[in-house]
Amino acid sequence: MKKVLVTGGNGQLGNCLREVLERETGIEAVFTDVAELDITNPEAVDKFVGDLRPDYIVNCAAYTAVDKAESEDSQAARLNTEAVGNIAKAAARHNARVIHISTDYVFAGDSHRPYAENDEPYPQSIYGRTKLEGEGVLKAFCPDCIIIRTAWLYSEYGGNFVKTMLRIGGATKSIRVVSDQIGTPTYAGDLAECIRTIILKDNPSAGIYHFTNEGVASWYDFAKAIFRLSGMEEEVEVTPIGSEEYPTPARRPLYSVLNKRKIKETFNINIPYWENSLKKCLKQMK
Ligand SMILES: NC(=O)c1ccc[n+]([C@@H]2O[C@H](COP(=O)([O-])OP(=O)(O)OC[C@H]3O[C@@H](n4cnc5c(N)ncnc54)[C@H](OP(=O)(O)O)[C@@H]3O)[C@@H](O)[C@H]2O)c1
């Protein structure tokens, strides 16, 4: 039986992991969020990990408000970098392995082919920079860690693009969506399944991995699919616009498709196509 501590358990990925791991008999998981374990508190993290003695810590906690981070850089750094250091030190001291989630925003987004794990990072936002620095701190203390970079995460839990589209589109019947930023919508439930597979392996290979759903889309394509698969295509008019027509405090990568060959080959996993997973999530949301 593998013992797993999950941090940030009330977030999108944390909730999906709860569903996946509660069905799994080979794993005993303890879920925490800030009320049970504030990862910015180094003593609390060390004590919790020392008492529980987990085989794995899966860190789903993060400062994920990308635009707000531009004006709250110290709060973003506290959670995305310093707190990851707290987890890393406790894991190293108490012999736990860390599975940590990072982001496509570590890259500049000016590539024309999917980013591989060893491509040079060049974050364009405070969020991206603090997440990259979190990767660095973790690798320094825990060379056996597993870092999974993902992108465009959505789920039936919390706030995300799918819910925003359904809310605004449903109310206004007309919406303008950026069509020149390309990436891959990723269902947090699929990432949770991937994390379970990794935990169940004997001594899984350490390193950085990329995970998203299969395929590529613009935010406009994503929005069109959300309305089509929800039976709202006729009701809601979606207009494609350029990024310059939708200015945001944080700069978004124009191209953030991730190459997933390494995670598929290393852990022998099949990844669903993004539209199929979107269909599944919309069904769950009903
Ligand atoms: N969402 C995306 O599109 C996306 C894309 C790429 C990568 N990622 C990465 O994927 C991971 C999971 O993202 P997500 O969308 O599931 O995030 P999320 O929904 O924002 O969940 C993060 C969780 O962490 C909790 N948290 C905040 N401060 C904490 C603290 N001091 N101690 C413990 N927990 C704390 C949050 O609680 P509160 O809600 O109360 O603050 C929330 O429950 C993150 O590492 C994120 O950077 C996300």
212 lines ligand 1 (CB under 6 A): no
Q: Indicate whether residue 111 lines ligand 1 (CB < 6 A).
A: no
The mean per-residue pLDDT over the stretch 228-237 comes to 94
Phi, psi for 256 (deg, rounded to 5): -135, 40
pLDDT at residue number 270: 97
Return the domain boundaries, the chain: 2-160+186-214+257-272
What atom in ligand 1 is closest to the CA of residue 61? 24
The pLDDT score that the predictor gives to residue 53 is 98
Nearest residue (CA) to ligand 1, atom 2: 153
Closest CA to 141 of 91, 204, 203, 77: 91
3-class state of residue 18 by DSSP: helix
pLDDT digits (tens, 9 = 90+) for 145-191: 999 999 999 999 999 999 999 999 889 889 999 999 999 999 999 99
Per-residue exposure over 178-187, b if at least 16 CB sit within 10 Å of its own CB, e if not: bbbbbbbbbb
Distance, CA of 178 to CA of 197 (rounded, Å): 35
Of the pLDDT bands very low, low, confident and very high (cuts 50, 70, 90), residue 286 is confident
Asked whether 48 lines ligand 1 (CB < 6 A), one says no
Quote the CA–CA distance of 130 and 117 in Å, as a whole number.
18
What fold, for 2-160+186-214+257-272? Rossmann fold (3.40.50)
pLDDT by residue (tens digit) across 7-33?
A: 999 999 999 999 999 999 999 999 999
Active site residue 127: yes
